[in-house]
Amino acid sequence: MTHLLRSSSQLVNPMNRQRFMGFGTGAGGSGETPNSTEAQAWFDRLMPYPTKDQEVILGTFVDALVAAGLANAFDFLYVNCLGNISNALTDVWRTDRQGRIFQNTSGLTFTANRGFSTGVIGHHVNSNFNPSTAVGARYTLNDASVFYWCHAADGAANVAQYAVFAATDAAPTTFLPQLQWFPRWTSGNGGGAINCTTQPFAANTVGYNRFNIFQRESSTAVRYYGDTNTAIVSATQASTTLPNGSIRFMCAHPMSVMGCGRSLTSAERVALRAAIMHLITSITGGLP
């Protein structure tokens, strides 16, 4: 398996001819095939620019999402398992959705080609995306999702940590009631609130989940899905209002991909999970 990790001597010079021509190895690996428009636009925002091997891995990921009809499904999508923090929080699709780390002191850990971990309250990833104020947001009152890929056994034991929440910059450690999600709480239940203030709880005995997605699917439908694409939590809490704060990821357990947008169909969730799984496997040589 090709790994993304490269020594400094192997990094591509960002001023090289390949960057400005917009040509790389592409999906065909010929060295002459142009990258797709979507992949190339992302690569041009990364520093250092991806190596040829990285272009193949990352280009395959982007092209799989485009082929699945997901190019316009997200408000932000971060591939955290890249070589540095800036690239790990560079949105795949847009120039104006750069994420950042929030830390009161220290605590959040970044591991190159792996992602973020050891986050706690006050040490997390801030997407800077506010569903209430963003122009043209796909995340809407009755049609929304947040998701992440986690390497730790998030559902294998009780987890007294929120995975995703919203908070204002004025009070970044105070969770807004309209978006709070934990896969599993100390009682063995899991749930949260998405665009409502009442948190639905349900027993979560499914165990380990790498792919996790929490959705508002209608004005009265809230669901949390894991690897099997079967709803772990399904509730009928009515939507009330959007969170007026930025969406944040706790990263208590290692997160390698994170994003949000509109809710996804069953086929789209399967396609997204498959694309992420192929990406992670190509970068790390397996599924940690």
pLDDT tens sequence across 209-231: 899 999 999 999 999 998 999 99
105 and 236 in a common domain: yes
Contacts of 17 (CB under 8 A, 6+ apart): none
Amino acid (one-letter) located at 181: W
pLDDT bin (cut points 50, 70, 90) of residue 30 is: very low
Q: Which residue range forms the structural domain that includes residue 58?
A: 10-67
Tokens representing 220?
């009265």
139 and 55 in a common domain: no
156 and 17 in a common domain: no
CA distance 20 to 154: 42
CA distance 57 to 282: 7
141 and 80 in a common domain: yes
Residue 248 has pLDDT above 50, yes or no: yes
pLDDT confidence of residue 12: 34
- pLDDT tens string 276-286: 999 999 998 88
Tokens representing 183?
């896969």
192 and 169 in a common domain: yes
Tokens representing 197?
């203030």
- Residue that wins the pLDDT comparison between 232 and 98: 98
Strand partners, 214: 146, 224
61 and 77 in a common domain: no
- pLDDT tens string 70-95: 999 999 999 999 999 999 999 999 99
155 found inside a domain: yes
5 found inside a domain: no
Contacts of 155 (CB under 8 A, 6+ apart): 183, 184, 190, 204, 206, 207, 208, 209, 226
CATH number, domain at 273? 2.60.120.200
Across the range 244-271, mean pLDDT stands at 95
4 found inside a domain: no
Contacts of 131 (CB under 8 A, 6+ apart): 75, 137, 139, 140, 144, 166, 242, 243, 247
pLDDT confidence of residue 191: 76
83 and 62 in a common domain: no
- Residue that wins the pLDDT comparison between 10 and 71: 71
14 found inside a domain: yes
78 found inside a domain: yes
89 found inside a domain: yes
Domain boundary among 39, 67, 95: 67
pLDDT confidence of residue 181: 87
Domain boundary among 20, 44, 67: 67
164 and 142 in a common domain: yes
pLDDT confidence of residue 207: 64
Domain boundary among 67, 88, 103: 67
2 found inside a domain: no
Half-sphere exposure of 121 (CA within 13 A, CB side): 9
191 and 58 in a common domain: no
Tokens representing 13?
């010079």
| Candidate from 21-30, 113-122, 146-155 with smallest mean pLDDT | 21-30
Name the percent of the chain lying above pLDDT 70: 81
| Candidate from 9-23, 174-188, 213-227 with smallest mean pLDDT | 9-23
- The per-residue pLDDT of the chain, averaged, comes to 85
Tokens representing 55?
């272009």
Reply yes or no: is the peptide bond before residue 48 cis, omega within 30 of 0: yes
30 and 131 in a common domain: no
Amino acid (one-letter) located at 57: I
Into how many domains does the chain fold? Answer: 2
**Pairing of the two strands 164-167 and 144-150:** unpaired
> What pTM was estimated for this model as a whole?
0.87
User: What is the rounded end-to-end Cα distance, in angstroms, of the chain?
Assistant: 14
1 found inside a domain: no
CA distance 215 to 43: 29
CA distance 126 to 267: 29
**What is the DSSP secondary-structure string of 39-66?**
HHHHHTTSSSPPPHHHHHHHHHHHHHHH
pLDDT confidence of residue 241: 97
184 and 277 in a common domain: yes
125 and 25 in a common domain: no
Name the percent of the chain lying above pLDDT 90: 63
